[in-house]
Amino acid sequence: MTAPTPSPLPSPLSAPAWEQRYQQGTPRWDLGQPAPAFQTLLTATDPPPPGPAIVLGAGRGHDALWFARHGFAVTAVDFAPSAIEALKEQAQGQNLPLRSLQRDMFDLLPEYAGQFAYAIEHTCFCAIDPDLRPAYVDLVADLLRPDGELLAVFFTHKRSGGPPFGTTAAEVRQRFKLRFDILTLEPVANSVAARQGEEHWGRLRRR
């Protein structure tokens, strides 16, 4: 009798691989709270006015819910079913209106082209294959209305490999300047302890 062929491991950046990470337990990227940089942004004296916002690679939705709580009409996208389930549960529990999409974000166009005043990014750019970064810049720009803004927390760690694949402020500037005006790109001052000195806060306006 021949031994059964083991099922192949999912490619590490595929939806099944991300789903497996969620099913295996507490994902190490999940802060269990909104990113501190987003908390600072929306509790400032001059927060951006609420509008339609898309959260890319939203995970369990802590950032998405934070923006929804502050009046933004949030669409949260993630291709991992467990992440979307957790996000929906939290939204229902907190009685917050929020649209969730279990989709590959690279398949959102042309359906959602130009629909959003904001795109929200937190450890999503670092989660995709670095070869897809040019396509990601175009995706974000094309989801936004003209003058729409990307509100981003970039993971600028210096370790090799990934995910999370690190980036630098210089790379963010060089890639995004093709489609965006960079209004702010600066180190995050109040990161959680494990990410001190490894995050940049960016506010970028689509041209």
Ligand X SMILES: C[S@@+](CC[C@H](N)C(=O)[O-])C[C@H]1O[C@@H](n2cnc3c(N)ncnc32)[C@H](O)[C@@H]1O
Q: Which residues bind ligand X (CB under 6 A)?
A: 18, 29-30, 57-59, 77-80, 83, 104-106, 122-124, 127-128
Residue located via tokens 């006015």: 49
Nearer to ligand X, 49 or 116 (CB): 116
- Least CB distance from residue 45 to ligand X, whole Å? 26
CA 53/CA 160 separation, integer angstroms: 32
Please compute, for residue 201, the number of CA atoms within 13 A of its CA located in the half-sphere on the CB side: 15
- Least CB distance from residue 52 to ligand X, whole Å? 19
3-class secondary-structure state, position 113: coil
- Least CB distance from residue 101 to ligand X, whole Å? 9
Nearer to ligand X, 132 or 189 (CB): 132
Q: Is 47 left (phi over 0), alpha (psi -120 to 50) or beta?
A: beta
- Least CB distance from residue 106 to ligand X, whole Å? 5
Integer CA distances (angstroms), 137 to 75, 88, 127, 128, 131, in order: 18, 27, 14, 12, 12
Integer CA distances (angstroms), 187 to 113, 130, 190, in order: 30, 21, 9
- Least CB distance from residue 32 to ligand X, whole Å? 9
> Which residues contact residue 201 at a Cβ distance below 8 angstroms, ignoring those fewer than 6 apart?
37, 152, 153, 154, 184, 185, 186, 187, 188
Nearer to ligand X, 139 or 185 (CB): 139
